A and B are shown apart, each in its own frame.
Chain A
Amino acid sequence: EDQVTQSPEALRLQEGESSSLNCSYTVSGLRGLFWYRQDPGKGPEFLFTLYSAGEEKEKERLKATLTKKESFLHITAPKPEDSATYLCAVHSTGANSKLTFGKGITLSVRP
């Protein structure tokens, strides 16, 4: 069974204090690893898809990286508007189109 574990559960940063969010996964075969952002009372907003170990993608202050066992979402010089819950999900071979999600990491950035 596919498993996704995200850590830490919650992270509080000062504005400008860079950090990383971790997503560890166990799958039979990885087709894709997804990162989403979710604001309170809203639906998940797509950020990145990574397909193979060594791949990296960037968007503004966010950079996602992938290894064979985990993915990191690096946040450089965060701003208060980056405060949200960040969700990691995997799509594995044999899973049809089902995504398996972690519980998310709640990020709070203080001004």
Chain B
Amino acid sequence: NAGVMQNPRHLVRRRGQEARLRCSPVKGHSHVYWYRQLPEEGLKFMVYLQKENIIDESGMPKERFSAEFPKEGPSILRIQQVVRGDSAAYFCASSHTQVGLLSGNTIYFGEGSWLTVV
């Protein structure tokens, strides 16, 4: 999938633990997005980040969820005190510029991180 790297691919956490999901965008991409896919549901937008900045977090739950994209290193999606309802596939995506600014620019997705809360 065009070089977006996510890890871990699979993660099991007990209720109340923390989950950290990492995403390295396509080389040269500075725009990162996180989406969540629940069983039988479509992909839902969570957050859009540019280096060191959160641009749009309108899809993020207000509590327990946070995201960052530091100047150096991968983007991190952090879920504190996980509950069973957090079990889902979390996809990271990246683009070269903000989608819509340039015709032909698109968003490339990683393989996903599957979180299971037991």
Contact = CB atoms under 8 A, between A and B. Distances in A.
B103 to A, nearest CB: 6
Contacts, number: 74
A46 B45 contact: no
Interface string B86-118: 000001000100111001101111111010000
Interface stretch (A62-70, A73-81, A100-108): A100-108
A46 B94 CA distance: 12
B5 to A, nearest CB: 11
B117 to A, nearest CB: 19
Chain B interface extent, by class: 20 to 34
A101 B43 contact: yes
B15 to A, nearest CB: 24
B110 A97 contact: no
Contact of A32 (B41, B45, B100): B100
17 contacts: A34-B107, A43-B91, A43-B109, A44-B1, A44-B91, A45-B109, A46-B2, A49-B104, A96-B98, A97-B48, A97-B99, A97-B100, A98-B45, A98-B48, A100-B45, A101-B44, A102-B42
